Amino acid sequence: MLLDERNIIRNVPHHDAVFWMLQENSVILVNRDRKPTGVLQRVSDVRYEGPALRTARGWRAGLTYFIEKVELTYPLALTWQDGCTEFFKRNRIFLYHGMRNDDVIARGEVLPFAQPVFVEPEATLPLKWFVSMGAYSYVVGPMTGNFSVGRYTSIATNVKIMGEKHPMDRLTMHPITYHFKHAKLAHELGIPQEPFDAAGGPVTIGHDVWIGEGALIATGVTIGNGAVVAARSIVTKDVSPYTVVAGAPAKPVRMRFETDLIDLLLESKWWEFNIADVPPHWSDPRRAVRELLNREADGTVQRWRPNPIDLAPALFKASITG
């Protein structure tokens, strides 16, 4: 049973209860005739329970209702409904580059959530993949794996996260010695497995990063704020802020700005503002940031803190309520 903010009961027909009301520590269930059919008392922070009333359809002595808040557990899968597309439109989060939502994901498609995902408005997610992403960032096309993206970041087509690692310092790199997918065979052969972190950790992509077409990024890598990864580079190590890297493996080519300007940009955290509030001196970042900080000091602008949407529960609700 889902109790939505419009006081309508969704998803589960509950002995003809259609509406709900909250009165102090009680949830009252109401039918279409506006007659109470049940009164549930708060038992804990996550549970209400109580008897059905005689007006409930199918009432019988001893009939008890309960409502319990259930937390989502990951990994999980979401079946796409029309309400999901409308949810993205309402919240100005986009499913495909070019601010598109319509006809991107078909009704009935099943999409995975590997972990909790938090997304800000104006972000464009990778095609049919959900990752935490800040405002105005975008990925062109598909990109899968465990990664997160800050604000104002541009990720081109065919960018990929590397697959699992192998233990190169062991006698054998074969996963029969460590991987759960080979555990049954290892057990049958009497081979003990030794722990190894094959997944390698998430990729963290900062704010105002540009990643060129066809780049390949190793698991566990952090790409710093303002960095640039040249097209078709292979990134195997962390990239420092405002550094341009290229090659296979990727190595520093140059810094985007002088050291004192980089320090100013990092200290200002200008990406915490809405782009609409930033003075549009795009070719003079030093002037733009100084004016921005002056405006902040005199109260003309302030840091932009939209509430990131916890995407999985919000989408499950949208799939039911529209």
Supply 196's token pair: 């190894």
Q: Residue 301: what residue type?
A: V
Residue among 15, 97, 166, 179 flagged as catalytic: 166
pLDDT at position 152 = 98
Supply 113's token pair: 């959530």
Q: Residue 41: what residue type?
A: Q
pLDDT at position 32 = 84
pLDDT tens, per residue, the chain with 322 residues: 677 767 877 666 666 788 888 888 899 998 888 889 889 999 988 889 999 898 888 888 888 888 887 778 899 999 999 899 999 999 999 999 999 999 999 999 999 999 999 999 999 999 999 999 999 999 999 999 999 999 999 999 999 999 999 999 999 999 999 999 999 999 999 999 999 999 889 999 999 999 999 999 999 999 999 999 999 999 999 999 999 999 999 999 999 999 999 999 999 999 999 999 999 999 999 999 999 999 999 999 999 999 999 999 999 888 876 5
Separation CA 53–CA 98 (nearest Å): 54
Give which of 223, 29, 2 is closest to 233, Cα–Cα.
223
Give which of 136, 85, 192, 153 is closest to 306, Cα–Cα.
136
Separation CA 243–CA 233 (nearest Å): 14
pLDDT at position 318 = 85
pLDDT at position 109 = 94
Active site residue 166: yes
Which residue blocks in the chain are alpha helix, DSSP H? 82-91, 183-189, 259-268, 285-297, 311-321
Predicted structure pTM score: 0.82
Starting at the edge strand found earlier in the chain, the sheet holding 251-255 runs 138-139, 154-155, 210-211, 228-229, 243-246, 251-255
pLDDT at position 1 = 67
Separation CA 141–CA 143 (nearest Å): 7
Q: Residue 40: what residue type?
A: L
